[in-house]
Amino acid sequence: MRPRELSRLSSSPRRRPRPEPALAALLLTAACATASLPRPGVAERAAAAVSWSGSVRVSVKGKDLRGRSRVLMAFRRPDAVRIEIPGPAGARLLAVVRGGRLTAVLPSERAFLESEATAADLEALLGVALSPPDLMDILVGIAPAGLRDYRVRWGDALPRRVEAVLGDGTRLVASVDDAEAGVDLRDVVFAPPPHDGHRRVDAAEARRLLTGGRP
């Protein structure tokens, strides 16, 4: 599902809330580690976005996982995330986080995973130890606590490239090809993917299937 396709499930733009006073400290943290500074007001508006959808080229290099892929993503604060990894014949992975629960489906393998949606659970599946709120923050230019390094290259309204080194040394690079913030994404975007008749697997097996057994 492309960002524009995600937006078709929305109705009208959602009014962006004004940044809270505490947001200034978060923006200052991000500004100290940027690769390029945004125009005045851009970082504040991006950080205040309650929703986001985009197409991202992601590269991950860690002790247990190395890989790169195009990823279609969407989030709606405070707790909803959708991650889709496309393949040549359909989605390789459809994962949805909502209300603290993760449902991940590998359609071609007819397998699914259900678990909590903590940073540890997402690391077990995707190799990146970020909680859903931290993942949202990274995409809109806020550096979560605990990162070793965080750099942002800004576009006109949102980050266009993010480079982060997590606390465990994992290096994450996200190049944003297309993104929009502030859209009113409908609940269907974050509904658990259908998985009737699929076999249940754990995170280790799901990651093995997703990567083809390669580290």
pTM of the model: 0.83
- Collapsing DSSP to helix, strand or coil, 43 comes out as helix
Q: Which of 41, 65, 49, 53 is nearest to 10 (CA)?
A: 53
- What is the C-alpha to C-alpha distance for residues 66 and 204, in angstroms, rounded to an integer? 15
Q: Which CATH code fits 3-206?
A: 2.50.20.10
**Do residues 203 and 124 make contact, with C-beta atoms less than 8 angstroms apart?**
yes
Cα angle value 181/182/185 (rounded, 5°) = 100
**Do residues 45 and 156 make contact, with C-beta atoms less than 8 angstroms apart?**
no
pLDDT at residue number 20: 46
**Do residues 192 and 104 make contact, with C-beta atoms less than 8 angstroms apart?**
no
* First-last CA distance in the chain: 27
pLDDT at residue number 89: 85
- What is the C-alpha to C-alpha distance for residues 2 and 44, in angstroms, rounded to an integer? 26
pLDDT at residue number 9: 41
Q: Is the pLDDT of residue 8 over 50?
A: no
Residue 14 or residue 119, greater confidence: 119
